[in-house]
Amino acid sequence: METLTWTGSMGWLNPVLGLAVGVMVVAYALQILMSLIPDAQIRTVGSGGVTAASQGVSGLLGRLGGYGFLAAIGILLVYLLAGVIIGPAAGIFGGLAQQLLPVWIALVVLFALSITFKRKLGLYGKLFDSTVGMIGFGLVMFWVFAGVFGGVFDMLITHDSLSQVSGMKNKLPGTPLARAEPEDYQWFLLGGDNLARDVFSRLIKGSWVVVQIAPMATLFAFMVGITLGLPAGYYGGKLDVFLSFLANLILAFPVILLFYLLVTPEIVLTGIPNYMALVLFIFPLVFLAVLLNSRFYTQPSLRTPLLIVVLGIAGWLYLSLVSTDGAIVDAPTYRLPGLPAFMDLFDIDPGVLVVFVSVVFVNAPTVFRIVRGLALDIKTRDYVAAAQTRGEGPWYIMLWEILPNARGPLIVDFCLRIGYTTILLGTLGFFGLGLESESPDWGTTINAGRRLLALYPHAAIAPAVALLSLVLGLNLLADGLREESLRD
């Protein structure tokens, strides 16, 4: 079995791609230089005496750069389609494209349905009117689908992410397995790491770690921040002073130091993170209870059974989250009982729980300050005064008048905060904190690969590029959402 090159039988397109990229770079660079020269753009007077910028040399360069960009995108699509069809015969890119086929199908279906029904989908539908937003959404959903298909269903990975294959230590991308069985995948597409494990499979498995923790931890942080920030901004007074003091107290600590303290083994053994989970995870229940009660307060026949069902299910999930092996805290000297094992829906890995709680604890004060500021502003609006005149309760006004009108900034911050959380997870993994040393999360993988970065950079570069692309996608998605929310 031969070693794969990056483009395999499609290598004849490489010079064409290089030419397209070169034309694009040179054209845009010259256009930027010309824009710095005074009077570089000649202006002409059109019909009716209206002054308009002529296309001139600058316009020609812009069009040339655009054509180069479109040509590069077209060639990359040819690589992708050829890879999906012929697989490793199209090189490493072809093997990757074929392995990721379920992701491409899911993305095409998602975009097709979203664009078709975008006028009926509110702010989400308007996102597809923004090119930047669509690109960001595509990058984010690529990793979401990769995490789900690869982490849950094992559809994408080529080898076990923890298995060590003899003779594959620090092998370069495209290296074939020396003694592969017929049923084995024949190559390490992105090479092997310093423990002879498949970098590609660990990359996909690591995306599932990020997809699990980052969005959910950010959502819980928003639940805490909204539940406390709305009354602080609406009522003001001593409540505002007290909650703001607590938030500022937490924010006064350096984030990395706070993370380091929370995830160190000595602190974990005391059970402090478990108690923090017990407190922080109760906020979604409080939020749901207040939300439903304020909305259906005048309909007790509907409100009461609805609260019983919703809070019953939410309470069960809450106890399942905070309980592990039938205990909330299982310290060396004492044990705090939790949900019985037969009722526990799932057990969260202790390392994941500690990281999850740490992320919520660090992000919640910042969300609190944003929500408080929005509430202070929006509570002075006329529609809030009208709701007060109608006799609506304070929580109804906060949740059904103020919060919906603050959704634009909050949605944008939510996307950005997932990106910050992703970086924090990578930072924790890089320093070996929280998650297990064998975890395939990107931070841990980068840390393991950096030791041989000068000789074998592929083991660290692959997860680093994945982390970069996900955070970039979240930032572009936030920009697109901000752009569309301002048009409302």
The residue whose two tokens read 């309909």 is 299
pLDDT band at 55 (very low <50, low <70, confident <90, very high): low
pLDDT band at 270 (very low <50, low <70, confident <90, very high): confident
Region for 251 from its dihedrals, namely left if φ exceeds 0, alpha if ψ lies in -120 to 50, beta otherwise: alpha
Residue type, 69: F
pLDDT value at residue 49:
47
pLDDT band at 356 (very low <50, low <70, confident <90, very high): confident
pLDDT band at 274 (very low <50, low <70, confident <90, very high): confident
- The stretch 196-203 carries a mean pLDDT of 93
Beta strands in 74-188 (DSSP E): 175-176, 187-188
Q: Which helix (H) or strand (E) holds 103?
A: helix 101-116
The residue whose two tokens read 């950010």 is 218
pLDDT value at residue 39:
53
Axis crossing angle, helix 442-450 with helix 407-430, rounded to the nearest 10: 40
pLDDT value at residue 144:
95
* Res. 45: pLDDT tops 60: no
Cα separation, 274 vs 280, whole angstroms: 10
- Measure CA 169 to chain center: 31
- Measure CA 475 to chain center: 9
DSSP at 198: B
pLDDT band at 253 (very low <50, low <70, confident <90, very high): confident
pLDDT value at residue 52:
45
* Res. 232: pLDDT tops 80: yes
Cα separation, 62 vs 222, whole angstroms: 43
pLDDT value at residue 23:
93
Beta strands in 211-288 (DSSP E): none
pLDDT value at residue 167:
86
Average pLDDT, the chain: 87
pLDDT band at 488 (very low <50, low <70, confident <90, very high): low
